[in-house]
C-alpha cells in the first residue's frame, strides 16, 4: 500500500472501503449458505434418482434376460431400433444466486415401437430401457447442477476467505497506521503551537 499521507479524508475513505469489504464478506457468507442448502437439496434428489435408476436397471436386466430367453441373442439383436426422433428433451431452467440450474426430462411416446417388437418380452425390454434412459436424463441434469453449484460454492468460499484473512486485516492495519500517524502529526502541531513556532 506504500506510504500514504495521513489525513482525515484518507481515513474516511479507507473506512468506507473497509465497510464495503465487510458487507461483501457478509454477502459471500450468505451466498455460501444458500448454495450449500441448494447442494443438499440436489444431493437428496440425486440419491432418490439413483435408487430409482438402480431399481430400473434391475428391471431392465430382468426384462432383457426374458427377451433373450424368448428370442435368443441373434433374433433380439436384429429387432429394429426404437427411434428417438419423437423424443423431446425438456429443460426447465432456474437460477440460484446466479448459478444456472436445469431440471432435465426426456419425454418420448412410449407406444410407438417399430414393427417386429411383437412379443410381450421384447416390448417389456424396450419399455424398461426407455424408462432407464429417461432416468439417466434426469440424473444427468442433477449431476450438472451439482457441478455448477459446487464450483460456484468453492469460488465464493475462496473470495470470502480472501476478504476475511487478507484484505480486511490489511485494511485494518492500514487504518490503524494512518490514524496513529495522524495523531502523531496533530500532537506535533499542538506542541509546535504551544512553543510558538
pLDDT at 111: 56
Q: Which domain holds residue 49?
A: 8-180
Overall size of the chain counted in residues: 197
CATH number of the domain within which 33 lies: 1.10.287.3240
pLDDT at 7: 83
Share of the chain above pLDDT 90, in %: 56
Separation between Cα atoms, residue 176 and residue 155, nearest integer Å: 30
196 torsion bin: left (phi>0), alpha (psi -120 to 50), beta (else): left
18-70 residue pLDDT tens:
999 999 999 999 999 999 999 999 999 999 999 999 999 999 999 999 988 88
Residue 190 falls inside a structural domain: no
155-173 residue pLDDT tens:
999 999 999 999 999 999 9
Separation between Cα atoms, residue 88 and residue 78, nearest integer Å: 26
Tell me the mean pLDDT in the region 116-136.
Answer: 83
Separation between Cα atoms, residue 196 and residue 120, nearest integer Å: 111
According to DSSP, the residues that pair with 95 across neighbouring strands are 100
User: At CA 32, angle to CA 19 and CA 141, rounded to 5?
Assistant: 145
Q: How many domains does the chain contain in total?
A: 1
Residue 75 falls inside a structural domain: yes
Tell me the mean pLDDT in the region 92-107.
Answer: 92
Residue 2 falls inside a structural domain: no
Question: Is pLDDT at 1 greater than 60 in this prediction?
Answer: no
Per the prediction, the chain carries an average pLDDT of 88
Residue 188 falls inside a structural domain: no
Residue 135 falls inside a structural domain: yes
Residue 18 falls inside a structural domain: yes
Name the strand (E) or helix (H) holding 193. helix 168-194
Residue 191 falls inside a structural domain: no
108-118 residue pLDDT tens:
766 556 566 67
Tell me the mean pLDDT in the region 10-14.
Answer: 89
Whole-prediction pTM: 0.77
- Detail the DSSP E strand segments found in 111-163: none
Residue 37 falls inside a structural domain: yes
More confident residue, 153 or 110: 153
pLDDT at 38: 96
- Detail the DSSP E strand segments found in 77-197: 88-96, 99-107
pLDDT at 10: 87
Separation between Cα atoms, residue 145 and residue 38, nearest integer Å: 10
Amino acid at each position: 500500500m506504500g506510504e500514504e499521507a495521513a489525513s482525515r479524508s484518507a481515513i474516511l475513505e479507507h473506512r468506507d472501503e473497509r465497510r464495503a469489504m465487510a458487507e461483501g464478506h457478509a454477502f459471500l457468507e450468505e451466498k455460501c449458505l444458500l448454495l450449500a442448502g441448494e447442494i443438499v437439496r440436489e444431493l437428496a434428489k440425486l440419491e432418490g434418482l439413483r435408487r430409482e435408476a438402480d431399481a430400473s436397471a434391475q428391471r431392465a436386466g430382468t426384462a432383457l434376460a426374458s427377451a433373450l430367453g424368448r428370442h435368443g441373442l441373434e433374433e433380439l439383436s436384429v429387432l429394429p431400433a426404437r427411434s428417438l426422433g419423437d423424443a423431446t428433451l425438456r429443460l426447465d431452467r432456474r437460477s440460484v444466486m446466479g448459478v444456472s440450474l436445469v431440471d432435465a426430462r426426456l419425454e418420448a411416446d412410449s407406444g410407438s415401437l417399430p414393427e417386429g417388437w411383437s412379443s410381450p418380452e421384447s416390448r417389456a425390454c424396450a419399455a424398461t430401457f426407455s424408462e432407464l434412459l429417461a432416468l439417466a436424463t434426469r440424473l444427468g441434469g442433477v449431476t450438472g447442477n451439482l457441478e455448477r453449484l459446487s464450483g460456484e460454492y468453492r469460488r465464493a468460499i475462496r473470495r470470502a476467505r480472501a476478504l476475511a484473512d487478507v484484505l480486511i486485516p490489511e485494511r485494518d492495519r492500514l487504518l490503524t497506521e494512518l490514524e496513529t500517524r495522524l495523531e502523531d502529526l496533530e500532537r506535533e502541531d499542538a506542541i509546535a503551537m504551544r512553543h510558538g513556532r
